[in-house]
């Protein structure tokens, strides 16, 4: 059963990316006014759901990397709709979600690549 031995090749980078995304977006939402524990729990759960879904999709269909910005916009829309239903905020929530995702993508992607290099280079 080769796939059990190789499962970590897919799982570990996905989990690192997910943790990194949740931390970075939590920092942005904290800076933008999320204060209660409930807000942060909902934000983290929504981010875990969308991040793992997107990363699994990209692992299964690497050709979709060419559409990453479109996929990220779709993630912003999905996160906004999930958060709007739960937090009940208005249109300003869309800009907060977009800002958090942009920050997470543009800071997290190079940081994740550095982690990949660091963990695989034997340093």
pLDDT value of position 87: 83
Contacts of residue 66, defined as CB under 8 A and 6 or more positions apart, other chains included, come to: none
> Is residue 50 a contact partner of residue 21, using CB atoms and an 8 Å limit?
no
> Is residue 108 a contact partner of residue 20, using CB atoms and an 8 Å limit?
yes
The alpha carbon of residue 28 and the mean position of all alpha carbons in its chain are separated, in whole angstroms, by: 13
pLDDT value of position 46: 94
pLDDT at 5 over 70: no
Tokens found for residue 73: 């916009």
Name the average pLDDT for the chain.
85
* Residue spans of alpha helices (H) in 37-91: 37-60, 68-87
In angstroms, the CA 25 to CA 108 distance is 10
pLDDT value of position 1: 47
pLDDT value of position 112: 76
How does pLDDT run across 49-104, given as a tens digit for each residue?
999 999 889 888 889 989 999 999 999 999 999 999 888 777 788 999 999 999 99
pLDDT value of position 22: 93
pLDDT value of position 122: 53
């Amino acid at each position: 059963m080769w796939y059990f031995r190789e499962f970590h090749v897919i799982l570990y980078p996905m989990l690192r990316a997910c943790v990194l995304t949740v931390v970075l977006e939590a920092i942005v939402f904290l800076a933008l006014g999320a204060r209660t524990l409930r807000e942060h729990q909902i934000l983290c759960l929504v981010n875990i759901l969308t991040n793992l879904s997107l990363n699994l999709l990209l692992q299964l269909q690497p050709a979709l990397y060419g559409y990453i910005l479109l996929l990220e916009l779709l993630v912003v829309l999905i996160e906004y709709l999930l958060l709007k239903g739960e937090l009940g905020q208005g249109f300003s929530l869309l800009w907060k979600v977009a800002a958090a995702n942009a920050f997470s993508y543009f800071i997290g992607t190079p940081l994740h690549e550095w982690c990949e290099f660091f963990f695989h280079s034997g340093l």
